Amino acid sequence: MIKVSRTRSAAKLKGFTGTQLETKLNNLVQYYQDDGHTGTVNFRPKNRQVWGGAKPQLKVESYNKCIYCEADTAVVAHGDVEHFRPKSQYWWLAYCYDNYTFSCQICNQTYKGDTFPVQGPRLAPPTVPLTLPSGGAELKSLLQTICPDPVTTTDAAVAQLYAKEDAELINPYVADPEQFFAWKAIPETREVWLVAITGSSHSSRAVKAAEDVLGLNRQELLRLRWNAYETLETLVLLFQEGNFAAERQREFLLRIRTQADADRPFAGMTRFFLKSWGLL
């Protein structure tokens, strides 16, 4: 994982801001009423699954990679609009852009699903009256408690809204995963494992959640990360042991550093090793 940025541009968030968002949220509270006002909403009907329109912008923000495992989804999978806080538990966030990530189907469907462990008290749902307001300021006030408009809110305000939950999973839109994740290459088995930073309890929690909930140490990723690591290590050894002129050496180092660019698969892992080798 690497830190990514959430757009706050109305032009890029059509359908998820302003009056279009209000329409979605109005429908959402009506679904809540229609489904019995019991704390959940049934999102199986296709007409209620309106989050697909967010996918193009989410893909841009995650560089066409799964936001969790950093594998490239552009070639091998379409990827999902993933609800960071599951809509089965947080129905009111089902249409909130700030609750969306772009994830591969394996991280999202095979592993994460409806799992969302927290250390603190779980976020309380909004109060929805048995009889909905018919319109006007009262209805608008209700809808504003459902979720923030992504254009008029800020990253800091969103982080504060959910801070008390103390979620186990790292949200790369809110926190920098590189502050919590370390990596260990094991040549004997040709694997690279996600590991905790020594002495950090928060890192240990984050890594355990990444393993248990997202499967970030699943066998396929261990192998793919090793392939990327081995290529990187080879380039670094050539750079360190080669007898290059100063200008060529600078050029070579710049090329090595491009392996850590945000659009590269496993950039978080690559940055960790380059930093540990004093090259980044």
74 has a pLDDT exceeding 90: no
pLDDT at 140: 85
Query: What's the whole-number mean pLDDT along residues 115-137?
Result: 89
Is the distance from CB of 53 to CB of 43 less than 8 angstroms?
no
* Mean pLDDT estimate for the chain: 94
Average pLDDT over residues 260-270: 97
**Residue 76, pLDDT above cutoff 80:** no
CA distance linking residue 208 with residue 193, whole number of Å = 12
Q: Measured between alpha carbons, how far is 64 from 222 in angstroms, rounded to an integer?
A: 20
**Average of pLDDT values for 26-38?**
94
Q: Is residue 211's pLDDT more than 80?
A: yes
What's the confidence (pLDDT) of residue 96?
Answer: 97
DSSP-assigned letters across all residues of 131-172:
S---SHHHHHHHHHTT---TTTS-HHHHHHHHGGG-BSS--T
pTM for this entry: 0.94
> pLDDT, tens digit, for every residue of 266-280?
999 999 999 999 999
SS3 280: coil
Residue 184 sits at φ, ψ, to 5 deg, of -130, 120
The rounded distance, in Å, linking the Cα atoms of 17 and 225 is 38
**How many CA atoms lie within 13 Å of 67's alpha carbon, on the beta-carbon side?**
30
